[in-house]
Amino acid sequence: MKHLRDAIQNGLVLLDLDAHDVETVFDRTLDLIVEHELLDDMRRGDVMAALLERERQISTAIGNSVAVPHAYLDALTEPLIAFVRLARPLNLGAPDGVPTRFFLVLLGPADAATQHLDTLTVIARLMSDEQFRYDAVVAQNSDELLAAISRFQTRTIPSAAVAAAEISPELQYSGRPFGGIIGDIRRRYPFYLRDLRDGLHPKCLGSTLFLFFACLAPAVTFGGVMAIMTGNEIGAVEMIAATAVCGVVFALFAGQPLIILGGTGPLLVFTALLYALCESYDIPFLPTYGWVGLWTALFVVILAATDASCLMRFFTRFTDEIFAALISLIFIYEAIKSLVMIFQDLDVNQHHDTALLSLLLALGTFYIAMNLSRMRRSRFLIPWVREFLADFGPTIALAAMTLVAVWLNEVDLDVLPAPDSFGTTSGRAWTVDLAAAPTWVRFAAIGPAILVTVLVFLDQQITARLINSGDHKLQRGSGYHLDLVVVGGLIALCSLIGLPWLVAATVRSLNHVRSLATTEEVVSANGDTRERILHVRENRVSALAIHALIGASLLALAVLKLIPMAVLYGVFLFMGVVSMVGNQFFERISLWAMDRNLYPSTHYIRKVPNLIIHKFTLLQLLCLAMLWGVKASSRFGILFPLFIALLVPVRIVAGRFFEPQHLAALDAEEEPEEEETHWAA
C-alpha cells in the first residue's frame, strides 16, 4: 500500500482519461512517467512495445473494474506504479464481466517482478472493496484518492472485538434505560450535517420526484379506502396531511432517514375493525381511536426505552425475504385488481374505451419506467444522459402517460380522487375531544393498543432491517431505538388530531434506497447479469423534500386531479416488481422452472445441494401463503402482526432440519464478497 500511496503523492495519477483503447491508455501513462523524468524518452518505445505485447497475450483485466498491465525491462531502473482512471470504462473481457475503469500500471527492472507480487495482492484487495471503488470514481484529485485509501485501511483493520461479536452494535443490549436511544444518537448524529450536504445532488432530485408520486399515490388510495371504512371520519386529506407532517419530522429527527413512513394495509384493516367495533358498541370512534393511539404511543416508547429493538437479532434473511415478498406481492396484486375492476364495472351502455385506455396507460407507465430504469446499463447515449433517464425514469413515465390521457380527453377516466379544497373529509374539527370517550373506554383501549404496538414494532423494525441490510452498503449506521421513539411520538400526535397512524412503508423505503444507489453491472461467463450496489447517497434532504412536496400537493389539488388512477396503478406495479429484484426468495423459486444444468453459480448453489435449496424455498413459500391467507381473512386479519412474529420460531425450528453450513449460505445476512453471478435486474 505504501508504494501505491507514494506513487499518488508523487503525481503519477491520471484522472478521467479520455481513452477508447488500451494503446491510448499506455501512451498517455508513459507520457506522464517521462514528464516526471522517471523514464528516458529514448527507451519509451521499448516499454510501450512490452506493455502491448503483454496485453496481446492475455488481457490484464483482473475484475472489479481494474486492470494491472505490467512490464519489466532493463530500460527501467526502479519499480514504478501509475494510477489511471478512465472517463468511460472499457470492455477488456474481465473474468467477472465488469468493464474496466481503473488501470494500475506496474513497471520496473527485471528483478522487480517479485516485489510487485506483494503490490498486486494489495491492489486486488483494495479494488475488491466496493466502497473504495465508489470513492475512487468520485475522487476529484490525488488528495481525495489518498483519503479514500486511508478510509479503506481504517475499515479493514483487524479487530478482535468486532470479529468476536456476532451481534451488530446497534442490536446489543445497553443494560440501562434509554441506553439504546442514546447510543443511536451518539452513533448517527455526527453525520447530520453531511446528511444535509449530501442531499444537494442531482441523484437526490431524481429520487425526490419519483418517490413524490410513488408516496402520494398510496396516500391518496389508502385515504380514500379509509374514508369508506370509517364513515369519512378519516379520509384522503387526513392521510396526505399525516404523510407530509410525519415524513418531514421523521426525516429531520430519525436515526435512519432513508426510511419512508406511510399507511400500510394491516394498519388500515385494524382501523376499519376498530370503527366497526365502535359502531357496534355505540361509542364515538375518533375519541376511542385517540385513546388507542395514545396507549400505543406509550407502549412503543417503552419498547424503545427498554432496548426491545434488540429482539430483531432473532430475525434473519429468512424472515426479511418473506416479509418483503409479501409487501411486493400486495403492490402487484392491488395494481392488477384495480385494473380488473375497471373492466368489471363497465356500464353496458358504454364502449370499452375506458377500460382499454386504462390498461394501456398502466402498462405504458410500467413499461417506460422499467426500461428507463435500465438505461444506466445501455450502450446508447452518453453517460450523464443515461444516468438522468435512469434516475428520472418513473417520473418521466408518469408525466408522459398523463399527457396521453389529457390528449385523449374524450375518454372518461378515473382520476386521482383529490379533494377540491383543504379541510377534513367530514368537515369535523381537526382536534379530537378525548373526553368524549366513556371512562371505561379509556382503559379498555389498552387491549387493542397492545395489538397495534406489536404491528407497529414489527412493521417498523423489519423494514429497518431490510434498509440496513449489508447488501445496501450503508456507512452511517442505523437507528432502531431512536426511530421507534420518533414513530411513537408521531402516533401520539396523529391520535390527538384524528390523522391515520403511519409506520415504515417497506416498498417505498426500498425504492428510496435503490433510487439513491450507485451501482455497477456484473456479467457472468454464461451471460447472467445483475446490478451490484457500490454506494448509497445517504441523506435527509430527499425524504424531507418528498414529504414537503406531498404537503404542498394540498395546494395544487386541481393539478393532481389530472393524473389518471390507471397511471398510478402502473407506478404501483413498477414499485412492486422493482422491489422483487435482489430478493433471493424469488430467485430460488425461479430455479424450479430452470434447467438444472444452467443454474447460475451463486454462493448458495455452490455450497448447498439442490434438494436442500428447494426445501428451504418451499418452507418460505408456505409461510408466505400463510401470511397472505391471514391478511386476506376478515376474521383473523387483526392478528396479522402475531403471524409475522411467528416466523421467528419457525426459522429457529427449521434449524433442526437443515445443516448449519447450509443455513449459513441460504440465510446469510448479506451476499459474500466472492459472489460473482446473479439473476438479471
Active site residues: 70
Coil, helix or strand at residue 264? coil
Whole-number Cα distances in Å, 154 to 140, 151, 159, 431: 21, 5, 11, 52
Angle, vertex CA 354, rays to CA 350 and CA 355, nearest 5: 105
Distance CA 360, CA 411 (A): 13
Number of H helices, E strands in the chain: 29, 10
Half-sphere exposure for 538 (CA within 13 Å, toward CB): 22
Parallel/antiparallel/unpaired status of strands 529-536 and 517-523: antiparallel
Helix (H) or strand (E) holding 11: none
Residues in the chain: 681
Least Cα distance to 571 among 286, 314, 213 occurs for 213
Half-sphere exposure for 628 (CA within 13 Å, toward CB): 16
Distance CA 59, CA 622 (A): 48
Distance CA 600, CA 160 (A): 35
Is the Cβ–Cβ distance between 69 and 50 less than 8 Å?
no
| First vs last C-alpha separation in the chain | 35
Helix (H) or strand (E) holding 649: helix 647-654
Is the Cβ–Cβ distance between 124 and 62 less than 8 Å?
yes
**Residues paired with residue 521 on neighbouring β-strands, in sequence order:** 531
Distance CA 15, CA 38 (A): 19
Count Cβ atoms below 10 Å from residue 628 Cβ, excluding itself: 15
Distance CA 625, CA 643 (A): 11
